Amino acid sequence: MKLQLISFPLCPFVQRSVITLKHKGAPFELTFIQDLENPPAWFAKASPLGKVPVLLVHGKAPEPVAVFESAVINEYIDETIGTPLHSSDPLQKALERAWIEYGSELLGMQYGIYTAESRANLDSAKNELFAALARVEKVVSSGPYFRGSEFSLVDSTFAPLFMRLFLFKELANDEHWEGMPKLRAWGEALLKLPEVKDSVIPEFEARMRSFVQGLGGVLGKSVS
């Protein structure tokens, strides 16, 4: 069985699956779609919503099976490769799935920060995201990972968010962090992991900065 992950260079959702695959030490091939607005026909066929990630599972059948949605891809990887990261306790598993869903909402809020067109809108977008993060501060363990000493799928889900938050000085140095010491320590621990460091393209930081500048919002104007 060969695994082929369909990616877009800066996508945080794809990054979650790359982290999970790398954490598991699973071999996989990464295929980039460079223009998501004009994707190749095979991609439109494989991805019902036209979104990445898609995991193509090449098995015995002539055509690969296309699994879509990052959270579902991660659970498939978790169930089929190595030691399970999801808890075997149904209640703990349900809670972790819920925080994974929550993490996806936070990525949407982060995008609102990139696109805010005035200082007032940027401040309000930042306040919204940090208020949402404050709820995570209440449930995250005292470290190093979300659940405690064991890495879980919540960790692969949140690492791309932290990577982007710490990239922009305005967000990394925001005063809200002072009230969220566990969250900050969690993010810093995640970003030290090799599977997280190696989950992006080598020119990630420069491309991310120029992507945000290209969006034309206030944050992009403050990025050098």
Ligand X SMILES: N[C@@H](CCC(=O)N[C@@H](CS)C(=O)NCC(=O)O)C(=O)O
**Residues engaged in binding ligand X (CB under 6 A):** 8, 11, 13, 36, 50-53, 69-71, 104
**Given the complex with ligand X, which of 71 and 132 has the nearer CB atom?**
71
Residue 163 CB, shortest distance to ligand X, in Å, is 14
Residue 54 CB, shortest distance to ligand X, in Å, is 9
> In what side-by-side order are the strands of the sheet with 29-32?
29-32, 2-7, 54-58, 65-68
Residue 148 CB, shortest distance to ligand X, in Å, is 25
Give the integer Cα–Cα distance in Å for 59 and 166: 39
Structure tokens at 73: 């891809």
**Given the complex with ligand X, which of 52 and 193 has the nearer CB atom?**
52
Structure tokens at 152: 């879980």
Q: In angstroms, what CA-CA distances link 105 with 161, 167, 213? A: 11, 19, 22
Instruction: Say how far residue 155 (Cα) sits from the centre of its chain.
Output: 9
Residue 196 CB, shortest distance to ligand X, in Å, is 17
Q: In sequence order, what DSSP letters do the residues of 131-179 get, joined into one string?
A: HHHHHHHHHS-SSSSSSSSS--HHHHHHHHHHHHHHHSHHHHT-GGGGG
Residue 43 CB, shortest distance to ligand X, in Å, is 10
**Given the complex with ligand X, which of 4 and 104 has the nearer CB atom?**
104
**Given the complex with ligand X, which of 46 and 180 has the nearer CB atom?**
46
**Given the complex with ligand X, which of 10 and 185 has the nearer CB atom?**
10
**Given the complex with ligand X, which of 13 and 151 has the nearer CB atom?**
13
Phi, psi (deg, nearest 5) at residue 31: -120, 125
Residue 182 CB, shortest distance to ligand X, in Å, is 25
Of 32, 24, 31, residue with least CA distance to 156: 24
